[in-house]
Structure 1
């Protein structure tokens, strides 16, 4: 149920796949239910009338995807690959981008502060080059009630990084291995999941869960495992991951 002040994702029409703020709703003369949506902060963003049925609550994945799309558009504009004559459209893009950054930051820091100690303890093994995806999945796991361990969330200034990681691996119930071209070349990532893999063999139960985010050479010891395939769609793969953790 949408309510005033919701951050929304537009699913159809002229503004499909964009992110906005639901400022109000109303009915047209033809009794059509519409939402008054600002493509950005309502204090300075342009407002548009969007059918209520074309609006849904925005997910973290949609925020990141839209953020990337706008970054690419702005990059193309800067280097004259595309041209937008309408200044209003340019303003909408910039205000939407700033709004998305604020929403993502709010969710990111909220989950860091409100981690659930009752959920599964999940270590997220990843290359630093895949940090954006690691943050996304850590945020969604925390919102789903689990207790993800992400290095930048947990290691404080002055603490020993190897020691902190070693303790976290021992205490974690699962290790999620984010598989990408970057991670398979990382010795850190290999050492992290490798140690938990042998715990899995000894315990006779799943402890290492591969997550494939792009085509890459899967390590030999993980080839026999069914991986969560995020290449074909985030939502479906994330549901499969939650099922594996429960």
Structure 2
């Protein structure tokens, strides 16, 4: 079992909040992690999860998948209006958090290998697949490839 010791981004691996990504800010009296859907300064609502249900290792593909899942939930809500406002706000907070993390990883990877002579990879994609394409590009750049992704 991974011991979560540093505050910051967390992926919830199991339980009722499985798949959600948030910011670990504190631990309650029972030892449960308090996870906000974005950095705590922006949010008042949070989830409580056990240490064993969370990990600080968040693969780039998980970020892209979570963004897609959130967009799907928000789209369904717009057409069916089935989500309470509080849940919709939490999803929007989480969407911004995940998008910011994915963008930061992408930019870091682009800069890291910008000046190196590496094997070049071109990623062609539809605008619908941009988040997933960025995830692939980020992982390839972290692996040492020079990647061209037309945003």
Same structural fold, with TM-score higher than 0.5 when normalized by the shorter chain? yes
Give the structure 1 partner of residue 21 of structure 2: 19
The structure-2 alpha-carbon separation of the partners of 1:110 and 1:23, relative to structure 1 and needing over 3 Å to count, comes to same
Shift of 1:151: 4.2
Question: What is the SS of the residue equivalent to 1:43?
Answer: helix
Shift of 1:131: 4.2
Question: What is the SS of the residue equivalent to 2:48?
Answer: strand
The structure-2 alpha-carbon separation of the partners of 1:54 and 1:116, relative to structure 1 and needing over 3 Å to count, comes to farther
The structure-2 alpha-carbon separation of the partners of 1:91 and 1:127, relative to structure 1 and needing over 3 Å to count, comes to closer
Give the structure 2 partner of residue 48 of structure 1: 47
Q: TM-score, normalised by structure 1?
A: 0.53
Structure 1 unaligned blocks of 5 or more: 154-246
Question: What is the SS of the residue equivalent to 1:58?
Answer: coil
Q: Are residue 136 (structure 1) and residue 135 (structure 2) matched?
A: yes
Q: Deviations over 1:55-76 (max 9, x none)?
A: 1122111111111111111111
Contact between 1:120 and 1:147, CA under 8 Å: does it hold in 2? Answer: yes
Q: Are residue 2 (structure 1) and residue 8 (structure 2) matched?
A: no
Contact between 2:137 and 2:149, CA under 8 Å: does it hold in 1? Answer: no
Question: What is the SS of the residue equivalent to 1:49?
Answer: strand
Shift of 1:12: 0.8
* 1:124 counterpart (122, 125, 138): 122
Question: What is the SS of the residue equivalent to 1:20?
Answer: strand
Paired residue total: 146
What pairs up with 1:84-103 in 2 under 5 angstroms? 84=83, 86-103=84-101
1:126 and 1:54 map into 2 onto residues whose CA distance is 36
Give the structure 1 partner of residue 66 of structure 2: 66
Q: Deviations over 1:23-80 (max 9, x none)?
A: 123551xxxx321111122112222221011111221111111111111111111112
What pairs up with 1:138-217 in 2 under 5 angstroms? 138-144=137-143, 146-152=144-150
Shift of 1:18: 0.5
Q: In angstroms, what is the RMSD of aligned CA positions?
A: 2.4
2:132 and 2:11 map into 1 onto residues whose CA distance is 20
Contact between 1:10 and 1:55, CA under 8 Å: does it hold in 2? Answer: yes
1:137 and 1:119 map into 2 onto residues whose CA distance is 19
Structure 2 unaligned blocks of 5 or more: none
Q: TM-score, normalised by structure 2?
A: 0.82
Q: Deviations over 1:95-137 (max 9, x none)?
A: 1111111111111111111117668413134244554433221
